[in-house]
A and B are shown apart, each in its own frame.
Chain A
Amino acid sequence: MRLDAYIACPHCDLLQRRQPLPPEGLAVCARCGTLLYRHRRNSLDRTLALAVSGIILFVIANSYPFLSLNIEGQTQETRLASGILVFFRQGMPWMGALVLATGIVFPLVELVGLTYVLLPLKFERLSWKTAAVFRLIRSLQPWGMTEVFLLGILVSMVKLAGMATIVPGIALYAFLVLIFLVAATSAAFNPEIVWERLSPQK
């Protein structure tokens, strides 16, 4: 029996035969209903385009102030990284590291890693250590939390609205668009296209 013709459900271990899917179709486990794999039309091109745009917006979102606040004539400008610096200075390095990792580093590593893996794939090549890099970005995925970060920013804006005038900066708009790009990237991406290319049989 050819093992790659089968798939075991990651949640209940039931062995099932892989079926070719119609465009945009998905396969779920017959026993527990977990999503097994799905088909995405033009996945490679779309994911690549979205990931590269994501990187550009990421740079903008981190280079400009995202909020400025005005109380009684005094103004304070903030970048995404400012709060992280405050944590480090005030003796809470673990909090600084947590926010730095989940809000900035992991999401960026994911976008750059995806581009690193997919761009050569587009030209029928493999980049150095594709398997290891791809495994890393897949395992980091639950820890990249840009959309939660955005919700946190919006909550803070409401919180502060009562005591100060808040002016959204360029970075906030860039960040908003970035969230949609990150979501669209993961919706467009089918990880099977990378694993299939790495199969030893081919």
Chain B
Amino acid sequence: MGTAEPPKVNAAGGPGPATAARLGLIACHDCGLLSRFQAGGRLYCPRCGGVLHARKPNSEGRSWALVLAAILFYIPANVLPVTHTTYLGSTQSDTILSGVYYFMASGSWHIALIIFVASIVVPALKILILAFLLVSVRRRSDWRPEERTRLYHITELIGRWSMVDVYVVTVMVALLKLGALANVDAGVGIVFFGAVVVITMFAANSFDPRLIWDAMEKRS
């Protein structure tokens, strides 16, 4: 984690809005209490004991690494089968997408929609939004900071719903254990898929939305 860095935004008193960082203050990530920045060593929140950082440490680097890892895992998660189903003697392997197709074909379009949105759209959307935010921060963009902050908030909220398919597979492998009559085994695809969900949640968590606003203040 390293030591607390001094808030590295222009000195107090200059033009621009009064942010905690500009006034030499650090808000605790855990409990929100403000502390004055002090040089030398790691700082702890006097109220809750959490480690203090003006900004999440190495936020851009970590988020990029996790976004790239998520992209890498997204491919096998969608190509490899997530379930192997045996029903009345015949076996069939399904990927996430072929499962969606099966539901559409059998008329349960609402289930097809839930799985499609939760398993395919949401992870892809999260990866795209985070990559977009990271690029915009790097380019010191001043384009609609409020909307970008809201986009970040959305990625924080929707990520958990991708886990639905993992739970569906969990229930299926538990219930269908009747040998040649009816049996479901998990495929390796689900492991990669679970990894995508976890990695994108960590990626969203390591991005610091205050960077969006810092970049603008440095510009002005």
Contacts and interface: CB of A to CB of B under 8 A. Distances in A.
B194 A95 contact: yes
Interface in A71-121: 71-72, 74, 76, 78, 82-87, 90, 92, 94-95, 98-99, 102-103
Interface stretch (B41-49, B58-66, B71-79, B134-142): B41-49
A125 interface: no
Q: Interface residues of A: mostly helix, strand, loop or mixed?
A: helix
B34 A6 contact: yes
A93 B170 CA distance: 12
A90 B186 contact: yes
The binding surface of chain B is classed by DSSP as: helix
A39 B89 CA distance: 60
Interface in B101-152: 103, 106, 108, 111, 114-115, 145-146, 149-150, 152
Contacts of A32: 145-146, 149-150, 213
Given A12-B212, A76-B176, A149 B167 contact: yes
A74 to B, nearest CB: 5
A15 B17 CA distance: 9
Interface in B7-36: 17-21, 23, 25, 27, 29-36
Interface of A: 3-4, 6-8, 10-15, 31-34, 67, 69, 71-72, 74, 76, 78, 82-87, 90, 92, 94-95, 98-99, 102-103, 131-132, 134-135, 138-139, 142-143, 145, 148-149, 151-153, 155-156, 158-160, 162-164, 195, 198-200
B68 interface: no
A34 B153 contact: yes
A83 B173 contact: yes
B175 A78 contact: yes
15 contacts: A7-B27, A7-B32, A8-B20, A8-B25, A8-B27, A14-B17, A15-B20, A31-B213, A76-B175, A87-B186, A99-B170, A135-B50, A148-B163, A159-B172, A199-B47
Given A34-B153, A158-B108, A99 B166 contact: yes
Interface residues of B, number: 69
B42 to A, nearest CB: 16
Interface of B: 17-21, 23, 25, 27, 29-36, 46-50, 87, 103, 106, 108, 111, 114-115, 145-146, 149-150, 152-153, 156, 159-161, 163-178, 181-182, 185-186, 190-191, 194, 198, 201, 205, 209-210, 212-214
B112 to A, nearest CB: 10
Nearest to A4: B33
Given A31-B146, A34-B149, A151-B114, 15 more contacts: A4-B34, A7-B27, A12-B145, A13-B214, A74-B181, A76-B177, A82-B174, A86-B173, A86-B186, A87-B173, A103-B170, A134-B48, A148-B161, A148-B167, A152-B166
